[in-house]
A = this chain, B = another copy of it.
Amino acid sequence: MIVVMQPYASESQIQHVIDRLIDLGFDVHRSTGEETTVIGALGVKKEFDTGQIEGLDGVREVIRVSQPYKLASRAFRREGTVVDLARGVRFGGPEIVIAAGPGAVESAAQIDRIAEGVARSGAKVLRGAAFQSRRSPYGFEGMGERGLWLLREAAEHNGLRAVSEARGITEIPMLIDFVDMIEVGARNMLNDDLLDALGAAQKPVLLKRAPAATIEELLLSAEHILAGGNYQIVLAERGIRTFETGSHTTLDIAAVPAVHRLSHLPILVDPSRAASRRDQVAPIARAAIAAGADGVLLEVHHDPDHALVDGAQSLSIEQFDQLMGELRLIAAAVGRRLA
């Protein structure tokens, strides 16, 4: 940890900071520049809150040199993590995994028809929400447990693995029974209770970046789950909130190489939400694979114009099939292939 004092901080301010650091058990090294004094503190623990020093008089800035996460860091597992959903579906290996399905499970006929369509085009994972997070209290709530059951059935009939979102901790036992991977939606990335519960679960997790979260904060949320003992985590970039109003969120394509540099966890890209419009999904999906993503998550509906949720950003089955052809070519161009 490095403490940068304000220019021309007084000697007594500097001494007070040093005393406080020694009290806290640090080894301290002082470097006195022409204008600015800098104090190095060795031996900082992950749990140390730099706010304890930032507030002292005369301090300009406290810089944490060590990363605040440990288990999520690349250094912890240099070779990279492979998240295994069984039956040959693995995120983080040489193959790129495509997960596809509707925003929400609406009926047996709907989910089965979509599952059949996406499986035929090469998807390996079926997605679909049974518990819908809702911007408005008046929106569609999802089918609940019956939706999970239908998702499982449709996945089994079509040789797919299943992923669905936990809106809160109460749904985790049900999700564990029905799906192969539990999704933490963007709005829950900072829900400590949910992260703790998933840390204790024996089930792969798909952890989505919140629209206001830095990459470091995404990795800290992963750290919560890792600290609980669950190492089967796939991260997802789905866009961050910016001033650009042309789309719901701005997909941070640089998050793909950044996560690969900083962490051992695989990362997939969810272009549907960031694209907001169907005709921008394909370019972003292609870009994701070109940038090195380990997977892509796509909203697909057999009849997008009548989808209960997210119709504007859903691909039709025909559009999905065409996109899969394009993604196969891009994957080959970067030396990988679709699972």
Contact = CB atoms under 8 A, between A and B. Distances in A.
Contacts of A216: 246
A233 interface: no
A63 B40 CA distance: 13
Interface in A293-329: 304-314, 326, 329
Interface stretch (A110-118, A156-164, A220-228): A220-228
B283 A256 contact: yes
Contact of A250 (B40, B195, B240, B283): B240
A220 B286 CA distance: 29
Interface in A11-41: 20, 29, 31, 33, 35-36, 38, 40
A173 interface: no
A332 B329 CA distance: 9
A33 B65 CA distance: 10
A96 to B, nearest CB: 13
Contacts of A47: 136, 138-140
Interface in A189-214: 190-195, 210-212, 214
Number of copies: 4
Contact of A136 (B139, B193, B220, B275): B220
A246 B220 CA distance: 15
A293 B156 CA distance: 40
Contacts of A332: 329, 333
Interface stretch (A51-59, A83-91, A143-151): A51-59
A104 B46 CA distance: 19
A167 B138 contact: no
Nearest to A131: B192
A194 to B, nearest CB: 8
A330 interface: yes
A95 to B, nearest CB: 17
A105 to B, nearest CB: 16
Contact of A66 (B31, B35, B211, B313): B35
Contacts of A50: 312
A29 to B, nearest CB: 7
A42 B33 contact: yes
A171 B53 CA distance: 31
Contacts of A135: 68, 217, 220
A192 B133 contact: yes
Given A40-B31, A54-B277, A63-B63, A212 B215 contact: no
23 contacts: A31-B40, A33-B66, A35-B66, A38-B40, A40-B40, A47-B138, A47-B140, A51-B309, A169-B169, A170-B193, A191-B191, A211-B212, A214-B244, A242-B252, A246-B254, A253-B253, A254-B280, A261-B279, A283-B290, A283-B292, A286-B334, A287-B288, A290-B330
Given A31-B42, A49-B308, 9 more contacts: A29-B31, A36-B66, A49-B310, A51-B307, A133-B192, A168-B191, A187-B191, A253-B283, A330-B333
